[in-house]
Chains A and B, each alone.
Chain A
Amino acid sequence: MTRRRAFTIAAQGLGGLAGAAIVLPAVGFAVAPIFHRGKERWEAVGPVSDFVEDTYRQVVFTETEGIGDAGKTTAYVRKSSPELEEEPGLYVAVSNRCAHLGCPVRFVQAAGNFICPCHGGVYDFQGKRIGGPPVRPLDRFQTRVRKGQVELGPRYSVTSQLEPVRARDPGEFTGGIWEYLYPPRPDTFPPP
């Protein structure tokens, strides 16, 4: 190798190093939130006596802190029902976020269904999809009872058989091969 060539390589290497020193931290800074999982958050939404087996009660609680009303979300909460072959003594909290594209669904008492105003998604009493474009059942929130109060925790998604999996965004399928095509994100909490 000639001296000229050695200097060329050294100069280009140093230039690349300087470039990487600028670009890599900036990119890391921008993509860091993908890998950051926040603190697990639980919020009491009412005494156990508020909730029954055969209908939902609508509650509003904070899912994302620090952004005021924009961080609040709505859940429909009821007691688990042995008639639906659910484990008794637990509480079911169904998210109102449509599994199609994230619009807010509403529980319609008369029909016993969840109905989405945007594109006509319909879910049954348990949140399973029965019509329209959604790709999976409605998400749920973890529940527990502390000091006689029902508390809601992190969000999780369910498969079409209502098996819990890590939270997915709306529009993403769950279960089977979809668990690999839509991999769980590192900033979500493990399912219960």
Chain B
Amino acid sequence: MPPPTSDPIQARLEQLLRDYGARVRRLLQSHGLDQRGIDPADVEQEVRIRLWRAIERDRSAAFHASYIQRVVATTVVDALRRAEVRAAEPLPDEDSEASPLPDAAAGPDRQASDSERMDDLARCLDSIPERRRLPITLHLQGFSLQEIADSVGVSAEAARKLVSRGMDELKSRLRECGHGEFDE
């Protein structure tokens, strides 16, 4: 990043990028992307640097919102890929001091139970026809009815019906697998 400047217009530009970067960092945290092995502060810094370089490279260029969005998306994707590579690297030796401690909140019983539930959930979802499965999985992934409607290519009302009926069907199948507590 450039050194602090006394030029008011330059200072204003720096402030704009700082504010935007801070907004990106907050959204990364609120969307839980910091739980995926990336550091929001690093991403914020990288977004600011990339935007700054783009502005310096071509001052006469018009920066559309979609371009700025792409800069953010590229930066986050790069960070996620780096995190995946780090996660795939072999664990340190046992005698090294950085050996991770097991999660105390998740005991062995709970971990086994969650694993069993996940396997049953995957089986139940696989048994639902594709056309109804996609709206359910998008809903479970946190997309709104309108977003699901846009993705599947139906109206919002049709998406609501698809999700509602699909969830009922999924719960019914889970109940058959012995997971009645989902229906409480």
Co-complex (A, B): no
